[in-house]
Amino acid sequence: MSLQEAIRMLRGELGLTQAELADKLGISFASVNRWENGKNYPSKAVAKSVLETVQSFAISEECKSYLYEILTPSRRKFVSAAGYGFPEVDQELLCQLVDRSANSIFVIDAENLNIIYVNRATEKMALSGSFNADRRKCYQYIKGKEMPCENCPLRNMQENGYTDEILHCKKVDAYYRIRGRKTIWNEKEIYIIYGYNVTDFIKNEQQVLAEG
């Protein structure tokens, strides 16, 4: 069972909304929302606190067992990179590094253009203004459109080849250079996209052109 399923099971047994569960656990609504949508994982300290708190909840032993299995640090899975001469990487740490990056990172299903993952920087950049990207199309979430982009940069993206686009985020008046490539993840074709804030460069360039 995944963390997403365990959180849904916990809320179902308690009959609580995400906000109500967050209040009972003493954490933010955003944390519960992100756990249940598969966009983040609690730190070891938070996981330990959650496990201690749920012991007093009127829930089944099965639910407690699932939560224990998923949140106990000793049972956390690692990604082995020994073949490359690197130490094993803790998935929790890796997720935190990606999620806290100042650059935007998001993953799109190549088959249906559904958003699979977004980090926090992408949430700030998204023109839709929505916190929840789950089951939304990339053009809906990233660009705030209801129809696919006429000149979709993904169409020309080849495996291991990059595409570039400048996106103006009006809600924060910022410019992002969007670069991405097509690859395979869990036997599924995906687009992984990186966004870099290039606002200073673009505005300086605009100023030079205006003065010239």
Instruction: Tell me the CATH number at 60.
Output: 1.10.260.40
Domain match, 111 and 196 both: yes
Calpha distance 94→113 (Å, rounded): 25
Q: Cα(91)–Cα(2) distance, rounded to whole angstroms? A: 14
67/75 Cα distance (integer angstroms): 11
> Are 105 and 64 within one domain?
no
Asked if residue 151 belongs to a domain, the reply is: yes
What pLDDT is recorded for position 92? 65
Residue 83 included in any domain: no
State the pLDDT at residue 83: 46
Same structural domain for residues 115 and 39? no
pLDDT at position 168 is 78
Provide the domain limits for residue 13.
Answer: 3-75
Tokens encoding 111 = 């088959």
126 three-state secondary structure: coil
Q: What is the pLDDT of residue 82?
A: 45
Beta bridge partners of 104: 195
Same domain? 49 vs 108: no
Domain count, the chain: 2
pTM of the predicted protein model: 0.53
Q: Does some domain include residue 185?
A: yes
Give residue 162's pLDDT: 63
**One pLDDT digit (tens) per residue for the chain, 212 residues:** 678 888 999 999 999 999 999 999 988 888 888 888 877 778 778 888 888 899 889 999 889 888 888 887 544 444 444 444 545 556 667 777 787 788 888 888 888 888 888 888 887 777 665 556 666 888 888 777 888 877 777 766 654 466 677 877 776 788 888 888 888 877 788 888 888 888 888 888 888 888 76
Per-residue b or e along 56-86, where b marks 16 or more CB atoms closer than 10 Å to that residue's CB:
ebebeeebbebbeebbeeeeeeeeeeeeeee
Examine residue 89 and state whether it is found in any structural domain, yes or no.
no
Return the closest-CA partner of residue 81 out of 96, 72, 94, 71: 94
What integer pLDDT is reported at residue 20 of this predicted model? 92
- Looking at the fold, whether 128 and 38 belong to one and the same domain comes out as no
Q: Do 17 and 66 share a structural domain?
A: yes
CB 141 within 8 A of CB 130: yes
Are 35 and 18 contacting, i.e. CB atoms less than 8 angstroms apart?
A: no
Q: Do 119 and 199 have their domain in common? A: yes
Nearest to 178 by CA among 131, 132, 137, 125: 125
Same domain? For 106 and 168 the reply is: yes
